[in-house]
Each structure stands twice: as C-alpha cells, then as structure tokens.
Structure 1
C-alpha cells in the first residue's frame, strides 16, 4: 500500500548533509559531520548513480526525502591538461573494474593493476558486457547518443499502460533537457576532427539514405576549447569509451547529481559496493556494503538499512543482487520472472575503409548523425556515425547500430556452486539476425560508393555496451518500477527495459522511465 503523500513528502530527517563523498564529509572535525558520515540508516537508499539512480536521487531529494546514494565506483575528477582516465592508446588499470589484464575490443590485452576502474567488463557465456563503475554510472563511459525509440517499436515492447504519446510529449523532452542533450553545432561538424562524420554522411546520401542529426550530451564549449588548444584534446581526439578527462561529456555527475545534492536531503557515498540485499529485522531493507579506498582495498563491511530501497545498479548488477537475494532466501518472494528477458539491444559495429577519400587527422568521439531503417534490412535498425580513436588519418570509417531484436533473450541464474549470478541461454546464434541486418546495410552503402571496402571484425566473443532486461517493467514490476509483492522496493534502471530499447541507445529511455516513475511515486506517496 502506498504511503500517504503528506507523509512521503515529509520523510526528510531534517538536515542530512549533501556531500559528494563520505570522505569529503569526514574532512571536517565537527561532531555533526562525523555523525553524518557514520550514519547507516536512511529513509531511502538508492543503489547506483547511473541514469535511473541519478533521477531517483534528484526527485527524492526535491520531495524532502532523506536519501543516500551508494555507488561502488569512484568519483573521478576532471582536468584541462591531464589524462585522468586511460584509453585504448594509454592502457592502464583505471579503465577497468578489478581486472589484471586489459580486455575490450580495440584494447591490447596487456597486464594492468587491478583497481576500481571506470568500467566493468563481465565475461558471460558467449557475450562480453560493458557497464559503468563510477559516480555517474554509464554516463561516464557512453558516447552521449541521446535518442528516443520510434513509436511502433516502443509500443510493441512495452505494456499498454505506457503511452508513447505521453513519453513523446512529456518524458522524453524532460529527460533530454535535464541531460543537456543537443545536436552537434555546425562549427564543430565542420572542424577537421569531424571529417569522418561528414564523409560518413556523404556515403549515406550516395546510397539514397538521408542522415539526421542526433542528440548528444557532449559539451560543445569544451570541444571548442579543445579545437582552440586551450585544453587537452580528448573528445576531438576520439576519447570516450573510458571517459573524457577534461569534462567534455555532460555526464550525470555534472547534471542530475549536483542538483540532487543541492537539495540538502541527499548524500552520495562513492566506493561503497552493495554486496547483498535482504529484509531488515524491523522491516524495510538491509544491505551488506563493502567500503573501499581508491586503490580497491576493503576498509570495512557495514550494514545499511532503509525503509525505501531503489535498486538502480544497472542491468548487470541489479540482476546479480536481486536474483541472488531470491535464490539464497534473503528475498524469497521476488517474482519468478526476475532474471529473464535479458537482451543486448542488438548492438553491432562495422568498419569500412575508403581508398579514395580522406577521413581527417583524428576522429572526434561525438556521434553527429544517424539514420533509422524500418523495413530495409533483416531487422529494423538505427545506424550511427561512429569513430575509431586510433585511426590517425587512416582511411577507416565506423558504423555502430542498434537493431530491434524482439526475440533473442537470455536469463540470469544463480550458480550455487560458485555463488555467482551468471547469464545463461545466450548462444552465438543470439546476435546473428542483428549481424545480418548490419551486413545488409554495409552492402547497400558499399554498392553506392565505389572505392569502399568492408573490413571484417572478428572479436573472440560478441559484446554489448547496452545490457537490458531481467526485471522487465509490467512483468516483474508495475509501471512505476515497484517490485511485485515487496512494499518499498523499486527497480529503476536498464533492467526494466525488456531486452531491447526499440532501435535506440537506451540512456534516454531509462531516464524517461525513471522520471515518469518518480513523479508518480512522489505524487501517490510511495
């Protein structure tokens, strides 16, 4: 039963300190600050600071709710001159969440020091999954593409109670504004590092396909500073997959999260990894939390408790937490469907080389344009102009695509032998239809552009940076993310999306779903 609205709005403990990290709070010697750091009970706890978690933090904070955000990753600084992050050309352990060997397409497999790096790569059966591990979650390591799904695919994937007209009229525009997404300005598009973008567009037009500008959360003023040489080149040099050191992205630690902290009702504690979730002894929820330092050394393990729990740990880690909680008996009544319906959003990538046209001195990271194909290929798909960091004037162009795959799904299950949650039911065939659509697209572009050659990409294992599903909205939760049968338990992240975002990069959809959910949760009192 929802809490009465008046009671929900008054749940703030009255003066919880807004601070970016518990260690920052601890820098003061006052007893009040020390008490704030030591406190482990909050009215609401949000696990994760990605797109869903950041929305939850802001809207709960503005509703006056005493809220703590627990984030396993670091809060990374920015610098106008220094390389804060590693990259495909400066490989080090800062790129990866506790790996001893670097591992991702385009990254040489060299030894690195295990540490709480900015992105986790999980090697599941027949699929490698990348997800963010930082304050700001996936917004730190994505490429900023911010687009809604076309109406027919949204409608076919989501329950009837989620109206496309409502999302198109209210929630997608709100999320776009809050994320700060805009299309690439002409002066940036015309600059030398985006020669590859203009060339990609020309190839599309020759094939009879009109590319359209795409929303992006890159900060164009920072890119202009890069072009002037007043800050270190990052986005214009192709850095993106493991973060932009100079703040060229409007990541969530620059948008939603500071606004949440400014309410005075929200705390954020980085390097706090939630290891398990169960019912509290006196009601509500109890969390086992591992606190680390920046090197990854475990400082202690504590129990945190709350009345309202928002699980926003991202698709991979939300499934890990909740599937394990169900199977170990910590939350035994979680829905039987939990863990099922996982998909990789139809992610595909292809390279082609042009033998007669120049691609520019470097390939800037922001995506300038895209084109949606409804009936041209084996699956509906969105093709986007992408880039290769290491191109350095090489005549190579990259296309990234997301297809509308309604069929291929996997399931997260608990392996009692290893006590780990793993992906099952996902074989090599799961991405064949998406790969076929991408191949048909490549063939159409090559046929219209003499001098182009397709370059085969043969990675050892298929991969995705858009893991989705496992806690599908309308199946495991109601339309506001309330988990069936568990009062005060909510899921608001990519695991709500039913395995595919309908031909879109999923960040905008996740943000919009969370905005809609929180508006109703606050309005109805729970």
Structure 2
C-alpha cells in the first residue's frame, strides 16, 4: 500500500471520524464539544450556498468517480435488483435529501423472526424510548419545523393540498412532517421567502450568507440558498467551532487495529480535483477511538475490505441490507384540488406532506407492513438551465442528459441500460409541470447481503420478498391518482423488478450479541472497543419513514456512550487526552441553536472539568476501578418543596439524568462508611435549558442512617441551567426494612430536590429548594444498567464479585428476616 505500518511517528488523535453524514457529523460535534481532539475525514468537497451545479456542463461532472477525474456529489451504485444514489460531499446525504425528520414509529421497533423464504429477520435491540431524548436533541439542532401551509404565500402549494385532499377522501392519515428547512430568519420568527438567516452562535463553516426557502424545489440537487439546515450548516459548523479538524477530499482506504490499542486508518488526499486516474500517496493516521460514518455502502465496504485485520468480526457483517422500502412512481397530468389548472409539483420544497399506512404491529389485523407515501417535487429546470439551444426543449434535453450520465457510470453492469425507458417516460409527460412524483418507503424485508466481488462491493437483494409491501404501496398510489384525476405510471425500472433507493440501510447491523449483529445497541463493534458504527449501516432493518433522523439519533446516543466510556477510562488511569479541558462555550442564538433558545446544549461534556474528575495520576498503581451507568426519569414541579407532591402536581415538568458512576478504588469504596463514588453525565431539565453537563457529582451507596435496618443512596449533582443559574440536584433513595417485595420500589425510586446554587452536603439545610419531584428507573433500563458494569485494573472479575457480595449483603441486612 506504500505505507509503513511500523512507523511510530504518524499523526495520532483521540477521536477519528470517517464521513460527514448523519452519523459522522453528529459524532464529531459531540466529541469536539466534550473537548476531545477530533479529526473528521470526508472524501468529498465542501458546497457553500451558490456552489451546487446547475448547468448541463456542471451536472455532467457532478458525479463521484475519481478514476475518471470526477469528484462530484452524486455517487451512483448499481447492484443486482436495485440501484442507489448517495452523496459525496461535506454534509453527506444531507446535501441531497428532502429534509424530512420523522421518528421511527414506536411499534416498528420489532424483533421479528425469519419469515418464510428467508426474509424479514429484523431484531431491534433498542426502543423508541431509548432514542426519544436523542430525537429531541437532533430536531433542535436541525431546526425541525413543518411546512407553513397555512401562511401566505406557502398556502399556494398545489401538491400539498392535493395530497391532503386525497388522504381525506381515502380515509388515510396525512401530516405535514417536520422539515430541516429555514422558512424564517430565526426560530419562532415569521416565515418569508428569501430572508437572510440569522447566524448561529457557532458561526458557519462556509462563511457564506444564507437565506430562507424560496420554494424552488431544488432540495435534492443541493440548496444554493442555504435554506436547508443541512449538516454543514449545523453539526459540522458547531463541531468546527469547538475545535474539530474537518478535512475534505480525504478518502479512507483501509483500517486496522493499532498494536497496543486504538486504530490506524489509511487514506488518500485528493488534492488535485482536476486529475484523472491520479494515484495520490497513501497516508496513515492513528486514533484512540474510530467512528465509521461513511454511509451504509462506505462503512460496510471498508469493513469488508479490512476484514483480515478484524478476525473477530462475525457472520453478521454484510447482512440485513435493505432499501427502506423505497419506491418512486408518477401521477401524470395531475391537476390542482379544484381540477382547474395543472398541478405544479415544482413549487415548494421537494416534500411537504406524508401519508402513513398502518402496520399490523399497530394493531391493524391484515394490514401487512407499514409504509409512508410522500409528495415529490423537482426543480423548475427551465428557470435555470442555460444551454444556448432550443430552450423550449431544455427540460427534456436536460433530464435525458443527466440520465445518460447516470447510466454511463454503470454501463457494464447487467440489466441497467435504461435510456430508452427514461426517454419514453419523459415523452409521456411524467416529468413536466403537470405531474406529481410520489415517494414510497416502508418496512421492506431486510434480507439483502453486501459482499465483495472481485474487490468491489456487490449486493444480493430482490424486491420479491417484499412484494406484498410494494403491491400495497402501488395500489394506494393508484387510488391517490384516481382521486386527483391523474394517470398513474410506474417507474420504468419497476418492470425490471428493480428499485432505486436513496435510503440504503444495514451491512454492519446492531444486535444484542455477536451472533446477531456487528455492533451492540450503542454502535460499538463487538470485540473491538473504541470502534463505532454511527451511520445507516448499523440499522438492523428498515426504519420505515425517512431514516436520516433515526440515524442521527442513534449517533447521538452512541456518542453519549462513547464519551462516558472515555471519561471512565481516564478516571481509571487509561489513556488521557492531551488536550485542554473544554471551555463549556455554547452556541448562542440564531437558527439551528441546539435548544432553540440561543443556549446550546452542552450535553456530552463528561470531563468533570469543575473538580469532579480525577486524572490518571490520581489513581494509585495496583488499584482497580469499577463503573456503571444509570439513567432515571420522572417529574418535578418548580416552586414545590415536597417531592411526593411535586411528582404529581399540575404544571410538573420532565426531569431525567444519565450518569456514569465510578469508584476509582473498588476496595476503598466498599470499606469506607460513606461508600462514595464520582458521578458524571448530564441532567435534562425540560424548560430550563434541557440537557446540561454535570459539573461535579457524587454518589453514595447504602449509607447508614440511624437504625441498622435503614440505608440511604444519595446523589448530589452540580450543574448550570440554561439561564446560567447554578443548581444542585439532591436525591435520596430510602431503603427501609420490610419484605423482599419492597426491594424494587425502594431501590428504583429517587426523591429529588433541586437547590439554588452549588450546595454541599453540609449546606443543604439552609438552601433554597426551587423544585421537587420523583425519578424512577424503568425495569428495562435497569436490565440494561446491569450490562454496563466495567472494571479497570488487576483482578477485575474478583473486584466485581466483591462489589456484588457487598451489594447483596447490604440488601440482606435491610430486607432479610429477623432471626432473633
């Protein structure tokens, strides 16, 4: 490969992120915000507003094929049974997606068994509840807002009204889904066309002004106004603000474990974007933590190519590939809601509405697998194509030109000569202003497999095992056509039993154990600590709706776990980051601010930088640390001082925390009466700044309090709320003598008071109580907590057993029978 793997002077960083899509960008931001040294490698180019290709000449070079001297953003893959279009560029798929931010339906987190015919195995080791707080965080960062159809001039969007009318007549559920689009200058402002967008507190990585949506229908070919809150304008700009080193035109070629821990990555730098068939030198970078976010194809391809270096990867690698049920059709010669004028599908963003088809798991017998149908759109080509010829034929000529370029890229692949079909479709008027593209997606069978064939990525997938889903979606689309007085037309490729997917998923799926997945429920690869899958490759099955939001939420949850592990490792004497502690600087104001108030969330900063963390030198040699993670949720009422009243009072607000609790010396923790450990993580106070880092925290286990049959568990967490007010969460679990049936309610119920200021234990009696309530740990979260116990140091298993004996012994002291 031209590199020396034994050379020790290669560049080394704490966290290396590969790819800048919905997985990589979120992970890079979270790690950089927490003060880690982050390098992100993106193979594509940056695209500031105004830089996206528009003319036929520019479009002709807008594809990714470095061997042909093409470094554009459309990356076309052709496989048996399906074709795919994904993105190459700073911001990944967000550059060309249609902005929809829908959550995966709660009932669709299934754990299916294999279906007859070998398809359908879909084991989701996570739930909607696991992702909900992370959905919240991503939606805030991306400025999720529905299309303002009830406002002028947005009410003049014929396709949105047509979809609503059709859904109403057919008795189907229709919504205006949240979109990552700026319709107003700032959150909460009045929408308007082409308004300047207020700069976020973290600035913009491009340094180019943005303006609000002009309803031009160009979302899927890159927004030259910057109205899309794509990842370059949000997460990547925030990551750069926090010190992330973002390197474009850097393509990763291989990866491997690094002797002594961590990983090494080989890459090339495409420094000359005009070169054809160039062979830039291979370089190497090392890291402690490696996050793969190169997309479903890119991540799986890298793992398959590097498989010899990862002998522990199981048979799940390459499995559970699906296209998320993607299906494109057309309604021809459609008219508006009054059937008076042609329906203009180019007005508005690409997608404005979503019709949901229920699933059997929703409690609808016989429904089959669920799906979504959304309106499509396309640019007003004749508004911006300048070719110097017969502009009356610009639209048809441009589309034919693009499809010729599209099919040229995989001309030698079997069954992909589509030019005639596309030409015929255009001739029938499917892609004119009197048509409406319909986009279907849903729970298809995740029975495809990605593998290598002659060194190239190949996919074995067929629409046949998902035929019932596709038939149902097509019939519903035909009914929509009937309501709108339109003619229905399939995508020509459908007759070849092929689909085009823009939502490929799977290949390195998560699972409950190595026999079920490549990575665990948090994206960490089984058997390879510090190696994470952040993108769509980790999905164990179809998301159902547009998967971008779920991928980003998974990456946010993954980053939380990654930072917790890194913090515990540092506290236990593992490798430390040779970087300054984070400053705590927050994004302030402007569109895309994480909490929508101008006070960006600092979640993910687990360094305990205000005194709660101990560095490696604080842990004596030969000692063994123990850590575990705990998450509790409940309600508090501000202005109330009694937790029992605050839990149920009108006006209560959600409160939760997630903590990594670490005893730096397990023997000492067990022996000392206070049984005190460090608590690091976050407190999420709804309405008071959201998720905030714990600046200093302590946890005391089974502290004696009066009688022998009474023990207390105490939590003291210092944080600062969104208004800059210092707060202390003081919580107590009271363990009293009683029957064994009391063990669960006593140990899972935390009575909480929020105190004004950072209050020590000896100062609490005089402190002002600003809120009170009760938090609980759910049984499913407790079961997951049991899997988070970690030790670091000699005799780890023995120390874990010692802790278990101590814990059980204390419970026996309290709940055991009276023997005298």
TM-score category (smaller protein):
0.7 to 0.9
Name the structure 1 match of 2:89: 134
TM-score by length of 1: 0.81
- Structure 2 distance, partners of 1:251, 1:120, is 18
Per the TM alignment, residue 281 of structure 1 is displaced from its structure 2 partner at its CA by: 4.3
Q: Where do 1:149-228 residues align within 5 Å?
A: 149-156=104-111, 162-168=126-132, 170-186=133-149, 190-191=153-154, 194-221=157-184, 224-226=192-194
Provide Cα deviations, 1:120-179, integer angstroms capped at 9, x if missing partner.
1111222111111111110111010110121111244775752322323x1211111112
Equivalent in 398, 401, 404 of residue 437 of structure 2: 398
1:234 deviates by: 7.9
2:344/2:435 contact within 8 Å kept: no
| Whole-angstrom CA distance in 2 between matches of 1:391 and 1:205 | 32
Aligned residue for 1:171, secondary structure, equals: helix
Q: What is the aligned partner in structure 2 of residue 325 from structure 1? A: 306
Deviation of 1:231 (Å): 9.3
Distance 1:185 1:94, change over 3 A: farther
CA contact (8 A) 2:124 2:540 kept: no
Residue 80 (structure 2) pairs with residue 95 (structure 1): no
Aligned to 1:409: 447
Give the 3 Å change call, closer, same or farther, for CA 135–129 of structure 1 in structure 2.
Answer: same
Residues 210 and 479 of structure 1: is their aligned pair in 2 closer, same or farther, counting only changes over 3 Å? Answer: closer
- 1:268 equivalenced with 2:240 (yes/no): no
Q: Is the 8 A contact 1:227 1:236 kept in 2?
A: no
1:477 corresponds to 2:519: yes
Larger radius of gyration: 2
The farther-off stretch of 390-399 and 58-67 is 390-399
Q: Is the 8 A contact 1:227 1:233 kept in 2?
A: yes
Give unpaired runs (5+ residues) of structure 1: 1-37, 101-112
Cα gap change, 1:289 to 1:160, in 2 (>3 Å): closer
- The superposition leaves residues 215-263 of structure 1 with CA deviations (integer Å, 9 ceiling, x where unpaired) of 10122148833499x9999862221222112212111011111111111
Change over 3 Å in CA distance of 1:361–1:214 after alignment to 2: closer
2:258 corresponds in structure 1 to 280
Is 2:503 aligned against 1:466? yes
- Verify: 1:69 aligned to 2:40, yes or no: yes
Superimposed CA distance per residue, residues 164-218 of structure 1 (whole angstroms, 9 cap, x where no aligned partner): 22323x1211111112111112366743772222222222222233421101012
Where does 1:1-150 land on structure 2 (aligned, <5 Å)?
A: 40-79=11-50, 84-86=51-53, 92-98=59-65, 114-150=69-105
Cα distance in structure 1, aligned partners of 2:480 and 2:247: 48
Distance (whole Å) between structure 2 residues aligned to residue 293 and residue 42 of structure 1: 22
Task: Check 1:39–1:259 CA distance in 2 against 1; reply closer, same or farther (3 A cut).
Answer: farther
> Partner residue of 1:420?
456
In structure 2, the residue corresponding to 1:509 is in which secondary structure?
helix
Q: Take 2:210 and 2:531, find their aligned partners in 1: how far apart are those partners?
A: 44
- Cα 1:383–1:160, aligned 2, differ >3 Å: closer, same or farther? closer
CA RMSD of aligned residues (A): 2.9
Distance 1:160 1:269, change over 3 A: closer
The aligned residue for residue 382 of structure 1 is 372
1:300 Cα shift? Answer: 3.1
Cα offset, 1:296, TM superposition: 5.4
Give secondary structure in 1 for the equivalent of 2:492. coil
Structure 1 position 394, deviation (Å)? 2.7
Selected match of 1:519 from 560, 575, 581? 560
Deviation of the 1:41 alpha carbon: 1.8
| Aligned 8 A contact 2:91 2:232 in 1 | yes
Equivalent pairs counted in the alignment come to 462
With structure 2 as the length reference, what TM-score do the two structures score? 0.53
Give the direction of change, closer, same or farther, for the CA distance of 1:49–1:296 in structure 2 (3 Å limit).
Answer: farther
Larger RCO (CA under 8 A, 6+ residues apart) = 1
- How has the CA–CA distance of structure 1 residues 420 and 47 changed in structure 2, closer, same or farther, with 3 Å as cutoff? same
Residue 338 (structure 1) aligned to one of 317, 329, 345: 317
* 2:535 matches 1:499: no
1:189·1:198 contact (CA, 8 Å) conserved in 2? no
**Are the counterparts in 1 of residues 105 and 128 from structure 2 also a CA contact under 8 Å?**
no
CA drift of 1:504 comes to: 1.1
Contact 1:344 1:499 in 2 (8 A): no
- Structure 2 partner of 1:308: 289
Q: Secondary structure of the equivalent of 2:240?
A: helix
Q: Provide Cα deviations, 1:274-318, integer angstroms capped at 9, x if missing partner.
A: 011122245421211010036253543211111211111110000
